[in-house]
C-alpha cells in the first residue's frame, strides 16, 4: 500500500493490538493491586507512567485498558454490523413497503445522537460490559443498515443482476449470492471507521460513569474520570489514558480512510 | 409458432409522468427463425423484449395490455415462479455490455454452474464438465483453466463469448440478444456475430437480435422489424427491406449510414429532428415531425402496420413474410433510392395550428423565428 497515512494508522493499530494481547506479559505490575503508600507518584523508572491514587501502576492499567477497549469496540461494531446488515439486506432486498417501514425506523434512530442513544440503552439495560457493547452496537446499526440498503439498491439495477434474473435465479439467490458479496466492501470500510468512534464512545460511557461497573477493571474512560480531580496535581494520570484513546481512534480512522481509498477507484491518486 | 406477441403495450410510471414506451407491438417468430429488431435508442426495442421476459424495471414498468404467447402459453399471465423456471431454460438473453453483465466477484465457473444447476438436477462435477464443454464450444482456449478465472481476467470479446456460452447452456428455444456487439471492437464484432450465428443455426435456436446497427442485422437475420417510438413501422424479410424500403424512417436509416460502394456524389442524408418525447401520449404518426413525405392526415391519424398492396393475404413470419409498412404516403422506389420526395410540387404538410405536439417538430423553429413572435419578445 503506497499510502503513508494508512501505514501510520496500521502501525498505531498494531501497537494497540500488541499492547492488548501482550498485556499480561509486558505489564510490570498487577493492574488491580496497588500500594496505597505509593499513590500519585509521577512517572519514574519503576512506574513509567506513574501511579494512580490507589498506588496502582498506570502503565499496566493503560495496557490492560487496551484489552477492554479493543474487545468492547470490536464486539460493539460487530453487533452494529450484524443488526444493521440484517435490516439493510431485508430492506434493500425486499424493497417496497418493507423497505419504507424499516428505513423510517432507521431514520428515527439516526436522528438521535449515537452517544445519547447508547446512554439511554445502558440506563435501560444496566451496567456491564455486554450492555455497553449492545448499546454502542445498536447506536451504530442504523448507519450500516442505510449503507447496505443504498448499495443494494444501486446493485439491483446492475447489468449482472438483470442477467442473473434472465437466467432464472430466485430473488433470494440474487440477493445473497450476487448482490451481497458486491456490497461488502463499503461495509468493511465503514466498520473500520466505526471502530474509531466506538473506542471513543466506550471511553465516553466510562467517563460518564456508565462503564463496566467494576472499579477494579482498567477502562480508559473510567481512568479519566478517576483522575479528573487531580488534573493540576497529577496531569500525567489524564495524559496517558487520554493519549491512548486518541491514538487508537486516529489509528482506526487513518486505516479506514486508507482502505476506502484503496478499494474505491474514484479516490485513487 | 414459437413466439407471438400481440398488441403489447408497455408503460412506465415515473415522477415525470407516464412514459409510453411500447404502443401496441405485434410480431411472430417461428422455431429457428432469426428476427432483427432495429431502431434508434429509446424506440422501445429493448423494452419489448424485457416485457417478453417479464424483467421490466420494477415498480415503474408494467405491461398495460397485450399477450405474449410462447408455445401458445401467455407469459403475461404466468405466475412468477413458472416464469423463473422458463427464463434461462426456454428463453435466454445476452446483454449489451459484457463488462458489466457478469458478476465481478464470482468466478466464471461459479456463474456457469449456478445457471445450469438452477434448471437441471445435475451434480457440480457434471455441471462443471458441461461448462468446460460450453467454453470450448464458444472458442475459449484452455477452458478448464479459464473456468477458475474472474470476469476481469477476460477481454470484452471473451466475456461476450462467456455470456453466449451461458445463454446456450440449457439449449433454449429462443435467444434474445440485446445489442450483443455494440460494446465490442469492430473486428471482434464480426467474430462474435459469426459465432452466434453458427451456434444458433446448429441448434435450431430462434433469435431476436436487437440492434441499432443495420449492418449487424443484414448478415444475421432472416427478417427485420423496424421500430420507432414504440411502434413497429416496417416489417419485411431482410433482403426485401434492404432492396425496397417503404417507410420514410427506414429510408432515412439506410441513407444515414455510409456505404463503401457509394458514388462520389452520393451524400449522407441525416434524419432531421429528434425522436419524440415518449412522455407525451402519441397522436398521429410518431414520425410525422421528422418526415419529408408527411401529409395533413399524418399529423392526426396514426397509420397501422399493413401490407403494401391492400387486400394481400398477410404472412407474419417465415421467409415468405409479407412486406408491411405503417405509412399513409410511402416513398416510391425512386424516392427511396434518392432519399427524398421526387414528386413535382410536393411539400411536407405543415403541422395543424395549436396542436400540442407542434413544439416537437422541425416546424417549431420556423414558428419561433416568425416576425410575430419576434415582436412579442
Instruction: Identify the CATH number of the domain in which residue A162 sits.
Output: 1.10.3720.10
**What is the total count of domains within chain B?**
1
Min Cα separation A262/chain B (Å) = 17
Min Cα separation A266/chain B (Å) = 17
A169 to chain B: which residues are within 8 Å by CB?
84, 114-115, 118
User: Would you say residue B135 lies in a domain?
Assistant: yes
User: Would you say residue B304 lies in a domain?
Assistant: no
User: Would you say residue B34 lies in a domain?
Assistant: yes
ipTM of the modeled complex: 0.77
Report CB contact under 8 Å: A163, B55.
Answer: no
Report residue B342 as a C-alpha cell: 421526387
pLDDT of amino acid B172: 93
User: Would you say residue B8 lies in a domain?
Assistant: yes
Question: Residue B24: left (phi > 0), alpha (psi -120 to 50), or beta?
Answer: left
Report CB contact under 8 Å: B101, A162.
Answer: yes
Choose, out of B83, B105, B166, the residue to mutate when testing the contact with A (most A CBs < 10 Å).
B105
pLDDT of amino acid B377: 36
Q: Tens-digit pLDDT profile for chain B (377 aa)?
A: 899 999 999 999 988 889 999 999 999 999 999 999 998 888 888 999 999 999 998 778 889 999 999 998 999 999 999 999 999 999 999 988 888 889 888 899 999 998 899 888 899 999 999 999 999 989 899 999 999 999 989 988 899 999 999 999 999 999 999 988 888 888 888 888 999 999 999 999 999 999 988 888 888 899 999 999 999 999 999 999 999 999 999 998 888 877 777 677 777 888 888 888 888 888 889 999 899 899 988 999 999 898 988 778 888 888 888 999 999 999 988 888 888 888 888 888 888 865 454 444 444 444 333 444 333 43
User: Would you say residue A199 lies in a domain?
Assistant: yes
pLDDT of amino acid A114: 82
Give Cα separations from A213 to A54, A209, A244 (angstroms). 18, 8, 21
User: Would you say residue A172 lies in a domain?
Assistant: yes
pLDDT of amino acid A231: 82
Choose, out of A162, A168, A169, the residue to mutate when testing the contact with B (most B CBs < 10 Å).
A168
Strands ordered across the beta sheet of B3-14: B17-29, B3-14, B61-70, B73-74
Q: Give the Cα separation of A249 and A68 in Å (integer).
A: 14
Taking only residues 5 to 44 of chain A, the set having a beta carbon closer than 8 angstroms to any beta carbon of chain B reads none
User: Would you say residue A106 lies in a domain?
Assistant: yes
Q: Report the residue from A159, A165, A169 with minimal CB separation from B97.
A: A159
Q: Report the residue from A158, A166, A177 with minimal CB separation from B55.
A: A166
Q: Is B105 on the interface with A (CB under 8 A)?
A: yes
Residue from B52, B334, B305, B27 nearest B178 by CA: B52
Q: Give the Cα separation of B245 and B331 in Å (integer).
A: 8
Compute the C-alpha angle B366/B370/B372, nearest 5°: 145
Q: Give the Cα separation of B121 and B131 in Å (integer).
A: 15
**What is the total count of domains within chain A?**
1
Residue from B91, B85, B81, B13 nearest B52 by CA: B91
Q: Give the Cα separation of B138 and B160 in Å (integer).
A: 10
Report CB contact under 8 Å: B101, A170.
Answer: no
User: Would you say residue B214 lies in a domain?
Assistant: yes
Strand, coil or helix: what is B74? strand
Q: For residue B92, give its domain range.
A: 3-221
Q: How far is CA B350 from the centre of its chain?
A: 31
pLDDT of amino acid B259: 72
Report residue A184 as a C-alpha cell: 461488502
pLDDT of amino acid B215: 83
Taking only residues 36 to 95 of chain B, the set having a beta carbon closer than 8 angstroms to any beta carbon of chain A reads 53, 55, 57-59, 84-89, 92-93, 95
Q: Is A265 on the interface with B (CB under 8 A)?
A: no
Q: For residue A168, give its domain range.
A: 4-20+58-267
User: Would you say residue A36 lies in a domain?
Assistant: no
User: Would you say residue B148 lies in a domain?
Assistant: yes
A164 to chain B: which residues are within 8 Å by CB?
103
User: Would you say residue B177 lies in a domain?
Assistant: yes
Per-state percent for chain B, helix, strand, coil, to nearest 5: 35, 20, 45
Min Cα separation A251/chain B (Å) = 29
pTM over 0.90: no
Q: Give the Cα separation of B203 and B341 in Å (integer).
A: 45
Q: Report the residue from B55, B86, B105 with minimal CB separation from A165.
A: B55
Min Cα separation A96/chain B (Å) = 8
Q: How far is CA B45 from the centre of its chain?
A: 4
pLDDT of amino acid B318: 86
User: Would you say residue A183 lies in a domain?
Assistant: yes
User: Would you say residue A184 lies in a domain?
Assistant: yes
User: Would you say residue A25 lies in a domain?
Assistant: no
pLDDT of amino acid A264: 64
A178 to chain B: which residues are within 8 Å by CB?
103, 106
A159 to chain B: which residues are within 8 Å by CB?
95-97, 100-101
State which residues of chain A have pLDDT below 70: 1-2, 264-269
Report CB contact under 8 Å: B88, A162.
Answer: no
| Inter-residue contact B114 to A178 (CB < 8 Å) | no
Min Cα separation B256/chain A (Å) = 31
Looking at residue B35, which CATH number applies to its domain? 3.40.50.300
Report CB contact under 8 Å: A182, B89.
Answer: no
Taking only residues 100 to 159 of chain A, the set having a beta carbon closer than 8 angstroms to any beta carbon of chain B reads 157-159
Choose, out of B86, B100, B103, B165, the residue to mutate when testing the contact with A (most A CBs < 10 Å).
B103
User: Would you say residue A31 lies in a domain?
Assistant: no
pLDDT of amino acid B205: 93
Report CB contact under 8 Å: A163, B88.
Answer: no
User: Would you say residue B12 lies in a domain?
Assistant: yes
Q: Report the residue from A159, A173, A182 with minimal CB separation from B95.
A: A159
Residue B87 is classified by DSSP as B
Amino acid at each position: 500500500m503506497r499510502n503513508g497515512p494508512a501505514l501510520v494508522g496500521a502501525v498505531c493499530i498494531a501497537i494497540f493490538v500488541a499492547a492488548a494481547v501482550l498485556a499480561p506479559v509486558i505489564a510490570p505490575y498487577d493492574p488491580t493491586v496497588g500500594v496505597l503508600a505509593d499513590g500519585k507518584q509521577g512517572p519514574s523508572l519503576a512506574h513509567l507512567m506513574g501511579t494512580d491514587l490507589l498506588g496502582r501502576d498506570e502503565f499496566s492499567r493503560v495496557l490492560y485498558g487496551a484489552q477492554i477497549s479493543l474487545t468492547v469496540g470490536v464486539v460493539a461494531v460487530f453487533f452494529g454490523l450484524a443488526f444493521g446488515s440484517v435490516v439493510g439486506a431485508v430492506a434493500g432486498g425486499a424493497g417496497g413497503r418493507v423497505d419504507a417501514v424499516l428505513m423510517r425506523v432507521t431514520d428515527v434512530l439516526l436522528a438521535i445522537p449515537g452517544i445519547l442513544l447508547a446512554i439511554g440503552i445502558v440506563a435501560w439495560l444496566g451496567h456491564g460490559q455486554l450492555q455497553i457493547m449492545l448499546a454502542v452496537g445498536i447506536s451504530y446499526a442504523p448507519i450500516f443498515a442505510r449503507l447496505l440498503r443504498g448499495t443494494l439498491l444501486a446493485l439491483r439495477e446492475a447489468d449482472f443482476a438483470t442477467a442473473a434474473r434472465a437466467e432464472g435465479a430466485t430473488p433470494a439467490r440474487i440477493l445473497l449470492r450476487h448482490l451481497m458479496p458486491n456490497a461488502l466492501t463499503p461495509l468493511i470500510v465503514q466498520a473500520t471507521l466505526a471502530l474509531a468512534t466506538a473506542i471513543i464512545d466506550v471511553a465516553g460511557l466510562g467517563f460518564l460513569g456508565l462503564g463496566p461497573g467494576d472499579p477494579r477493571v482498567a477502562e480508559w474512560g473510567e481512568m479519566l474520570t478517576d483522575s479528573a480531580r487531580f488534573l493540576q496535581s497529577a496531569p500525567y494520570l489524564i495524559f496517558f489514558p487520554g493519549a491512548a484513546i486518541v491514538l487508537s481512534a486516529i489509528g482506526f480512522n487513518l486505516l479506514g480512510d486508507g482502505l476506502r481509498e484503496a478499494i474505491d477507484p474514484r479516490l485513487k491518486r | 409458432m414459437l413466439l407471438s406477441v400481440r398488441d403489447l403495450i408497455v408503460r412506465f410510471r415515473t415522477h415525470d409522468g407516464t412514459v409510453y414506451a411500447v404502443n401496441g407491438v405485434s410480431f411472430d417468430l417461428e422455431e429457428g427463425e432469426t428476427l432483427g429488431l432495429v431502431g434508434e435508442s429509446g424506440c422501445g426495442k429493448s423494452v419489448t423484449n424485457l416485457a417478453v421476459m417479464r424483467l421490466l424495471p420494477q415498480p415503474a414498468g408494467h405491461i398495460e395490455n397485450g399477450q405474449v404467447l410462447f408455445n401458445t402459453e401467455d407469459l403475461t399471465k404466468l405466475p412468477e415462479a413458472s416464469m423463473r423456471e422458463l427464463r434461462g431454460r426456454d428463453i435466454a438473453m445476452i446483454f449489451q455490455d459484457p463488462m458489466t453483465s457478469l458478476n465481478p466477484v464470482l468466478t466464471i465457473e461459479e456463474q456457469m454452474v449456478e445457471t445450469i444447476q438452477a434448471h437441471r438436477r445435475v451434480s457440480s462435477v457434471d455441471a462443471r464438465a458441461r461448462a468446460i464443454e460450453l467454453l470450448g464450444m464458444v472458442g475459449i482456449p484452455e477452458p478448464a483453466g479459464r473456468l477458475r478465472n474472474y470476469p476481469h481476467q477476460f477481454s470484452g470479446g471473451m466475456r461476450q463469448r462467456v455470456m453466449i456460452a451461458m445463454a446456450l447452456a440449457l439449449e433454449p428455444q429462443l435467444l434474445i440478444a440485446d445489442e450483443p456487439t455494440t460494446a465490442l471492437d469492430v473486428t471482434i464484432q464480426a467474430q462474435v456475430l459469426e459465432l452466434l450465428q453458427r451456434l444458433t443455426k446448429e441448434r435450431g435456436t430462434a433469435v431476436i437480435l436487437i440492434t441499432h446497427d443495420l449492418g449487424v442485422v443484414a448478415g444475421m437475420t432472416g427478417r427485420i422489424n423496424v421500430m420507432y417510438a414504440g411502434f413497429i413501422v416496417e416489417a419485411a424479410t431482410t433482403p426485401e427491406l434492404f432492396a425496397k424500403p417503404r417507410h420514410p424512417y427506414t429510408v432515412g436509416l439506410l441513407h444515414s449510414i455510409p456505404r463503401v460502394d457509394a458514388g462520389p456524389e452520393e451524400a449522407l442524408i441525416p434524419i432531421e429532428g429528434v425522436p419524440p418525447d415518449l412522455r407525451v401520449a402519441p397522436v398521429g404518426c410518431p414520425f410525422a415531425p421528422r418526415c419529408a413525405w408527411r401529409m395533413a392526415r399524418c399529423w392526426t391519424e396514426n397509420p397501422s402496420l399493413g401490407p403494401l398492396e391492400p387486400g394481400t393475404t398477410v404472412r407474419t413470419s417465415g421467409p415468405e413474410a409479407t412486406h408491411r409498412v405503417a405509412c399513409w404516403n410511402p416513398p416510391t422506389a425512386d424516392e427511396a433510392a434518392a432519399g427524398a420526395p421526387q414528386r413535382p410540387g410536393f411539400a411536407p404538410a405543415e403541422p395543424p395550428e395549436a396542436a400540442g405536439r407542434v413544439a416537437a417538430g422541425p416546424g417549431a423553429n420556423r414558428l419561433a423565428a416568425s416576425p410575430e413572435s419576434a415582436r412579442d419578445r
